[in-house]
Structure 1
Amino acid sequence: MYKDIERISSLISSRICHDMVSPVGAIRNGLELLEMSGVKPSLELDLINQSAQNANARLSYLRVAFGDAGGSSKFSQQEITAIIGAYFENKRVRVNWQVTTDQPRSVVKTLLLLIMCFETGLPYGGEILVRTADSTWAITGSDDRTAFDTPHWDAMITGQDFELSSATVHFELARAAMSLNDINPEWGKTSGALRMQFQTNAA
């Protein structure tokens, strides 16, 4: 019997996202065919098209963040920025990805989960800055109105357990990803920002 529950969960997430991408893509293709056939633009078609785009962006992001990070494959810089850009296109939070090199899948998975955590800490919007120098990474979330003092953030910083929900499950997944990659972050908090720094040996 396969006993690695975390691996099974990630594979299930990968499968769900993979299977949902095709029908969402079919909806977008169908809309394009309608436009080519001469159907006049309308608010209804715009709404359907925007919803399909948003769904595709979320699936692409969650497929990496929640999915299986096994293997030695890498994401190109273009792939990473496309996934992040599409996911945050219509959100109040901006992600400033200041990384110019390709990255291992396991590192990208961890970073996308951490970005989701920082997004939760910026309920009114703000900026998430991601930078790296060699093997040292720094993520900073900033805004005048932050929520980095909630129980799940306290648990993330201290390592204590907290009550999970569907809205905060990415915190536990981020902790598991960091543990798997031997990441021990350092934290710095001010009244309007939270910064974490860590090193990774992934190549």
Structure 2
Amino acid sequence: MYKDIETISSLISSRICHDMVSPVGAIRNGLELLEMSGIAPSIELDLINQSALNANARLSFLRIAFGDAGAGSMLSQTEIIAIIDNYYKNKRVQVDWQVARDQPRPQIKILLLLLMCFETGLPYGGEILVRKADSNWAVSANDERAAFDSPQWDGMITGQDIALSSATVHFELARMALAVNDITPEWRRMPNSMRLQFQTKVA
């Protein structure tokens, strides 16, 4: 019997995302059939299509961020870039992913959760830079309108309890993912910028 609530919640998240992929895919297939039948293009069809694409992008991103990390599994560089690009395609926050090669899925889970944290700290938009050299990761963002002084960031850096809501639960999930993988980040917080570095056991 599972007694680890983090494991149970991640499996539930994986199941929800998995089950939602099929109906979203069916909507897109239905739209393609309508287009093949000769139906005239319209604003309504474009809206449905864009909504389906956006839903699929979010499911792909959240399935890894909130779902089971799948210890030992890898994600290809192509898949990682597609997941990040599609998720942030129409957002004010952009991600500069300067990471080559395939990566272990548990590490990408951590990075996606951290991207969500950084996104929360950039309410007016900005760019998040992600780099990796060997087993050393670095994530940073700098914007004059940044908000990296929230209680959630305080908790991430100091280890104190975090007041959570559905809109900020990724902060605790990121902290838990780092702890589970025995990672202690080095934080550097300035008034309008945030940078963290950490090292993983597997390059």
Taking structure 2 as the reference length, the TM-score comes to 0.98
State how 1:74-113 maps to structure 2 within 5 Å.
Answer: 74-113=74-113
2:40 is matched by which residue type in structure 1?
Answer: K
Q: Aligned with 1:67: secondary structure? A: coil
Shift of 1:2: 2.0
Structure 2 gap segments, 5+ residues each = none
Q: Contact (CA 8 Å) 2:148, 2:192: kept in 1 or not? A: no
Q: Which residue of 2 aligns with 1:130?
A: 130
Q: Which residue of 1 aligns with 2:180?
A: 180
Identity of aligned residues (%): 73
Shift of 1:192: 2.3
1:119 is matched by which residue type in structure 2?
Answer: E
Q: Which residue of 1 aligns with 2:49?
A: 49
Q: Which residue of 2 aligns with 1:145?
A: 145
Q: Take 1:46 and 1:27, find their aligned partners in 2: how far apart are those partners?
A: 12
Q: Contact (CA 8 Å) 2:187, 2:197: kept in 1 or not? A: yes
2:102 is matched by which residue type in structure 1?
Answer: D
Asked if 1:30 corresponds to 2:30, the answer is yes
Supply the RMSD in Å over aligned alpha carbons: 0.8
Q: Which residue of 2 aligns with 1:17?
A: 17
Q: Take 1:70 and 1:7, find their aligned partners in 2: how far apart are those partners?
A: 11
Shift of 1:164: 1.1
Taking structure 1 as the reference length, the TM-score comes to 0.98
Please give the per-residue CA displacement for 1:89-143, whole angstroms capped at 9, x wherever unaligned: 0000010000011110100000000000000000000000000111111000121
Q: Take 1:13 and 1:94, find their aligned partners in 2: how far apart are those partners?
A: 25
Runs of 4+ in 1 over 6 A off after TM superposition: none
**Number of residues paired by the alignment?**
203
Q: Contact (CA 8 Å) 2:118, 2:128: kept in 1 or not? A: yes
Q: Contact (CA 8 Å) 2:156, 2:171: kept in 1 or not? A: yes
Q: Which residue of 1 aligns with 2:118?
A: 118
1:191 is matched by which residue type in structure 2?
Answer: P
Shift of 1:179: 0.3
Q: Which residue of 2 aligns with 1:65?
A: 65
1:192 is matched by which residue type in structure 2?
Answer: N
Q: Which residue of 2 aligns with 1:5?
A: 5
Q: Take 1:198 and 1:155, find their aligned partners in 2: how far apart are those partners?
A: 17
Q: Contact (CA 8 Å) 1:107, 1:202: kept in 2 or not? A: no
Q: Take 1:87 and 1:73, find their aligned partners in 2: how far apart are those partners?
A: 22
Q: Take 2:73 and 2:190, find their aligned partners in 1: how far apart are those partners?
A: 37
